[in-house]
Structure 1
Amino acid sequence: MVEICYVEQDGTRHKVKAKTGLSLMDVAIMHHIPGVEGDCGGFGACGTCHVYLDEAAQSLVPPLHELESSTLTFAHDVRPESRLACQIPITDEMDGMTVQMPERQY
């Protein structure tokens, strides 16, 4: 198990234990983290699990792929550090990682 910290837009922090192999979205939904919705169930089709990853976290996740990039074009306030939480499987190396939520998903 690794610890992931989800940070809401207002600064509220949610530190949770996560099983490796699950996605960042799965874990957020399991722990009822506000701001991650996952309307499409994790297929990368809706953009409602949009999160921001800082530079350190970006180095721990797979590269952005074409489907994720095109889905993000429909998300709110997309930035260079934007990712879809459903497309990021949790690994042991992510222990202590922080995930920032956008202001809103739509």
Structure 2
Amino acid sequence: MAKITYVEHNGTQHVIEVATGLTVMEGARDNGVPGIEADCGGACACSTCHVYVAPEWVDRLPKKDAMEEDMLDFAWQPDPVRSRLTCQLKVSDALDGLVVNLPEKQI
């Protein structure tokens, strides 16, 4: 289990324990976090699970692969450094304490 903090654009925080092996997107979806739409169900075929990771987490996460980079081009106001798709982030003990900020809207 890892404790993930999802911060809505308005500042509302959702601190959720997410089981190891799930994705950060599944943790949000399964716990009703608003703002993570996940239209493709986690297939990395849309950008509706886009978030901005907290700056201190950028270098601690696995690198983005080419498919994630391509899908981020369709996200709402992507940041070249902090934007990630939560469907591509597998939860492990190493992600305990992760903070993600939701964009104002999803496309």
TM, length-normalised to structure 1: 0.95
Match of 1:84 in 2: 85
Kindly state the Cα deviation for residue 91 of structure 1 after the two structures are TM-superposed: 1.0
Match of 1:95 in 2: 96
**Deviation per residue, 1:34-68 (Å, 9 max, x gap):** 01010001011110000011232223321011100
Match of 1:73 in 2: 73
The CA RMSD measured in Å over matched residues stands at 0.9
**Deviation per residue, 1:62-83 (Å, 9 max, x gap):** 1011100111101111012100
Match of 2:27 in 1: 27
SS at match of 1:17: strand
Match of 1:46 in 2: 46
Question: Aligned partner of 2:46: which letter?
Answer: C
> What CA distance in whole angstroms lies between the structure 1 residues aligned with 2:71 and 2:11?
26
Structure 1 outlier segments of 4+, above 4 Å: none
Question: Aligned partner of 1:79: which letter?
Answer: D
Aligned length: 106
Question: Aligned partner of 1:75: which letter?
Answer: A
Kindly state the Cα deviation for residue 28 of structure 1 after the two structures are TM-superposed: 0.3
Stretches of structure 1 lacking an aligned partner (at least 5 in a row) = none
Kindly state the Cα deviation for residue 29 of structure 1 after the two structures are TM-superposed: 0.0
